[in-house]
Every structure is written in C-alpha cells, then in structure tokens.
Structure 1
Amino acid sequence: MTSAADVVFVGALTLDAIAVVDTFPEPDSRQVARDIVHTGGGPAATAAVAAARQGVRAALVGTVGEDAEGERILAELRAEGVDTHAVSVLPGQRSAASVVVVDASAGTRAIAARVAEPPVIGPQARALLAQARWVHADHLGARPLLAHLAMLPTQDRPGLSIDDGYGIDGFTPGGVDLYAPTVASLAQRYGDRPVPDLLAAARADGAHAVVATDGAQGAWFVADGTAEHLPAHRVDALSTLGAGDVFHGGLLAALAGHRPTDVTTTELAHAVSWASVVAALSCRGVDGRSAIPTPAEVLAARPELRPAHRAEEAR
C-alpha cells in the first residue's frame, strides 16, 4: 500500500561510480584517484533524498531494471525514508548508471551515463499524486508527468515544479507553479538578456514562480514582485556533484507547507535561502548525497533562518 507524501519526485534513478582526481586524465593515462565512491544518483532521486533529510514525506516515481544495481538504488532510497512503492522494476531491463570523473583542481566533472527508461505513471503513482501537495519532475520525468496531469481537472492537480536544467524539448513553462531552470538554460530559451529579464520572460510564458540557479553565483527568484538575487552560501567544497538536485529538494521541502498559489516572493526568498544552505553543505561530500545536511545542521550554519515549513503543520 502506498502511503501519502508531501512531495512526489518524478524522474531518473541511477547508480553512480564517482572518481575524484587531481587533474582530468589524459587519453591512455593512469592516475591515482583521491577517492572512488559508489552511490545512488539521478536528479529526481537525489532531490527526493534531500527533501527527506529535511523531514518531509518524500516519494519517488521512476524506473529501475531487474538487476543488482536496481536493488541497491532502491535500498539506499528506502534507508533515507523515501517512499519507493511507485518505482517500477522493469523485467529484462538494466538500471541507469553513470561514471563520473571529478577534477578537484578545476572543480569540474565529466559524466558518462547509461540512461534510464522514463517513469511509468501507474496506479500507485496516480494514488500518490492525488494526495500530494507538490510534485517535482526532472528532464526524464517531465513528459510522462505532464501527460498525466493534463488529464486531471485543475482542482485535482498538485503544485507542479519542473527542473529544466538540462532542457526539455518542446516544453514551455506555462501553468508551472515553480519553474526551476538554470540561468544558462533560461538564456538558451529566451536569449542573451539580463537575468531579471529572463525571469520576466518565463513569467510572461505562464510560470507562477521562477527560481533559476547559477552555480557558485547563487540563485535568482521571483513570484509576485521584482526578481531578486541570493548569493551562494560559502563552504569549502569537495565536489559540487548533485548540488543543483539537492537545492531543488531543499526548496520543495521549504515550500511543502504552502499551497502553490500562496507562494509569494517573500516566501520564496526564505525557501531559496534554506535550499542554498542545504545545497552548499552537501558539497562537503564527494558524492551528491552523503553530506546533505539535516535541519539542525542548516540552522547551525545559518541561525537567522527559521525552520523549513512542514506540510502537516499547514493542514
């Protein structure tokens, strides 16, 4: 039986092998890695873990293969308290996986991926979505999720958040409650303009709230007023792998107690501040998950923040 969730995440689940090296390898070279880590990944899955670490009820919709990698992916997610009942295990298929090389000297990375099958919006997923306040989809989950939501009456839909960091062919943000691109993907969509103008263009296309991440430069956001910028929270970063996904999980956790239509620029400012600290502290780890902080760690780093809202408190 599928339990209720505050936020449902729809998209990719992977198993990652991550090597941290001093400099990126030359062809046919060999070097000793600082560390090699095997861990779960995927934008939607990592965002779900981040939200669960913040104390909200998080569920995941996606696919894994009928293999040892899929078993490990699901076991790690369940250990984090993420509801995986709506993850489909595909007979005869292999799970998604990635090999990631992190260049410690430059702070960059290269990823070679075996991609996942798109999520299946089956009966258990539909039951989760019928009760959730928010749903967040990455590039892999956006199309099946949007197709499902299009069949529902407006009043029966959860708040919709879309991660557009990788770009989604044919997608426009009309009707999206929380549009979450990168500044780079916004520029690809709307052209070379000042960032506030890019956010205004997304709002003109029908997005209610927009939060655009800009890596080490921080994030821009707007809901019902003027676009604002928040600098990134500074830490001694070991790796930025998955930081954007962690940011989205922290953002949805902070908004889980709000109905989508109630989100103002003021409320968004708090959520972006919370998510910024969550994402920054996650960069203390090699992978995208092991160093994701708890709420107590977030408040220790930024005591002036109020705790992230809990969905059950607003009911």
Structure 2
Amino acid sequence: MIVVAGEALIDLVVTAEGQRAVPGGSPANVAVTLARLDQPVRLLARLGTDEYGRQVAEHLRTNGVDLGWAVRAEEPTSVAVATLDASGQASYEFRLAGAADWQWTPQELPELVGSPATALHTGSLALALAPGAQVLEDLLARERHRDGLTLSIDLNLRPSIVTNRPAEQERVRRQVPLAHLVKASDEDLAWLYPDRSVADVMAEWHAAGVCCAVVTRGGEGAWLLAPDGTLHEQPAVRTTVVDTVGAGDSFTGGLLAALADLDALGDRPVDRLTAVTAPQWAAVLRQAATVAALTCGRRGADPPTRAEVETLLTAES
C-alpha cells in the first residue's frame, strides 16, 4: 500500500463559460491517480466536515482511495481558484487561512511500523504551510531513519502563496535529503534557483542522498537522474491539451505506480531503487509521461485508468 499525505481541497475552476467546484489538491490527485492505476492507496489527510469537505471525501471514496487514516476536521476546506486561459493553462489563487489541511498535530498521525505501507508520498503545500508542515517533516525524518519504506516528495512550489524565496530554499534544502525520490518541475526550479541549471540542482540532490531525482519539463518531457548517476530523458507524449490541471500530479502517480509494479517500493528503499535497470527506468518514465498526457487531454484533474494507459502504451510500441 502506498500512503499519500497532504492536502485534499476544492479546485474552483474558472473558465469563460463559468465556474465549477471540483475536488483537487496535489496529494489527493496523486492518490486518485494511484487508485485508478490499480494501486492500493491510503490518503493521510485532514478533511473538513463542511459541504466542500463532504464533496472531497465522496470523490476520494468513489475513486477507491482508502480514507482509513483521514482525520475529520472542524476547520473549513481549503479552496484553490484555478483560472484557465485560452490554451488551457491554469493559474491559481488560494483561500487557505485557517483551513483544515494545515493543522496537523503529531497525535493525528498513524503508526507506520507494522502497517502494510510500502511508500509514503507527500509534498506541495502540505510541506510548506505551518503548523502542519513541521509535523509531516518530522514524520519523514523518522521514517528515513527507520529505513522501512520508500519516501517520495513532489516540491510543487506555489510562489503566489509562499513568496519568501530564501526561506523556501532553506526548507527545500532541509527536506529533500529526507526522501529517496524527489520530483519537481522546471518551473519550480526556475523560481527557486534562478541562477542555477536543472542539471546542477539534480546533481546536488543526488549527492545529498536522493536516489532518484525527476524534473518534468512541460512540453519538453522529463529528466530522471537514476541512482547510478545516469540521466534518462523522456520526450513528452503527444496529446491535444484540454488543460494542464493535475498533469504534474498524475505524472507523479504514474511514476510511483510503475515503481510499485517493479517491486521497487518498500523496505531497504535504497537497495530496491538501485536494483532498477536502465530499461526499467525508461519504462517508468514512459508510463508517467503517458499518464500525464492522458490527463492533459481531459478537462480538470481526471487521470486515466490502468487499462487506458496500457492501451496507449501498446499502441505506441
């Protein structure tokens, strides 16, 4: 079972035709992607008891996400206003003050020792916004020390919310070495390190103890720095873009699902990831890119099923 920790919120999607409220949040989108790819997944989230919170919970359950560790919170549900331009590119405005997602306490976290968890994935605002970010960071630190499961982080930075670049650089410097797998977008890194190359940042993460560093590059595809220092490049899978909402999250879900299929997630995570061969890394990247492309071809964060992914991969081979 893969555990995903972090925000589950409402995306208020605004287009020229009007607006609609749909469940979202980067970690929640990753969890839904994993479930649709037939991976057992449990979401560690704080879900509001308001109408939006009930809508989010129903969406997650309907898609097969296990909510056994979700906390029912009295605080309101976070709202992200996603405005789509004519090309389908999303820009975001967030309504987060006092919301449920960021109020974690240590007592609300489950005991992962002895659980069926093989991996823990988190990131985005959940690792950035106080007070809950520190609680989740402490959880990552404990699990890295225990060495009992694979740890994954997606930076998914939000400069419109967390605007202090030096503070974000320090946070990322502190949190990245806690993970075995780190994913970011080239836009994340361009904002975080405007004077550094992507290759330089990936090499720094590798030296800090990250086994696998992945950077998505939009229409240019993705790069993956494997444990042996080999750089793998995956071109973007061609698609007609409807919008990009949830594309990065579905890429992450596709990546983790492919690694799970290889039995590359679990205890002794460094050994497991090191054992992945070059052809297998290429296949992992190809699946992740395919999942993201299929999501871009639909409206909103609507990741594909395993059957849909396998059909497209078969057609391409």
Match of 2:124 in 1: 139
Contact 1:88 1:120 in 2 (8 A): no
**1:89-132 Cα deviation digits (max 9, x unpaired):** 222x11111222111x2332222222243245546633488431
Match of 2:82 in 1: 100
Distance verdict in 2 for CA 1:293–1:151, change over 3 Å = closer
Distance verdict in 2 for CA 1:238–1:129, change over 3 Å = farther
Shift of 1:226: 2.1
Question: Do structure 1's residue 234 and structure 2's residue 230 form an aligned pair?
Answer: no
Aligned residue among 129, 149, 154 for 1:163: 154
Question: Do structure 1's residue 294 and structure 2's residue 305 form an aligned pair?
Answer: yes
Distance verdict in 2 for CA 1:222–1:179, change over 3 Å = same
Match of 2:6 in 1: 11
Question: Do structure 1's residue 80 and structure 2's residue 63 form an aligned pair?
Answer: yes
Amino acid at match of 1:19: V
Match of 2:33 in 1: 50
**3-state DSSP of counterpart to 2:300:** coil
- How high is the TM-score relative to the length of structure 2? 0.81
**1:146-173 Cα deviation digits (max 9, x unpaired):** 2024345734532110011207552322
Q: For residues 226-305 of structure 1, what are the structure 2 equivalents within 5 Å? A: 226-256=230-260, 257-259=263-265, 260-261=269-270, 262-263=272-273, 264=276, 266=278, 267-289=280-302, 292-303=303-314
Contact 1:129 1:135 in 2 (8 A): no
**3-state DSSP of counterpart to 1:179:** strand
The whole-number CA distance in structure 1 between the counterparts of 2:190 and 2:256 is: 24
Question: Do structure 1's residue 112 and structure 2's residue 89 form an aligned pair?
Answer: no
**3-state DSSP of counterpart to 1:203:** helix
Match of 1:195 in 2: 198
Contact 2:221 2:233 in 1 (8 A): yes
Contact 1:254 1:274 in 2 (8 A): yes
The whole-number CA distance in structure 2 between the counterparts of 1:245 and 1:239 is: 13
**1:42-82 Cα deviation digits (max 9, x unpaired):** 00000000010000001111112221111110011000000
Amino acid at match of 2:83: V
Match of 1:208 in 2: 211
Amino acid at match of 2:59: E
Unpaired runs of 5+ in structure 2?
Answer: 128-132, 159-167
Query: What do you get for the CA RMSD once the two structures are aligned?
Result: 2.4
Distance verdict in 2 for CA 1:269–1:304, change over 3 Å = farther
**3-state DSSP of counterpart to 2:240:** coil
**What is the aligned length?**
285
Match of 1:29 in 2: none
**3-state DSSP of counterpart to 1:141:** helix
Contact 2:32 2:65 in 1 (8 A): yes
- How high is the TM-score relative to the length of structure 1? 0.82
Aligned residue among 13, 20, 26 for 2:15: 20
**1:157-196 Cα deviation digits (max 9, x unpaired):** 3211001120755232224210111123334455534433
**3-state DSSP of counterpart to 1:206:** coil
Unpaired runs of 5+ in structure 1?
Answer: 1-5, 22-32, 307-315
- The worse-fitting range, judged by mean Cα deviation, of 109-118 and 42-51 is 109-118
- The worse-fitting range, judged by mean Cα deviation, of 211-220 and 35-44 is 35-44
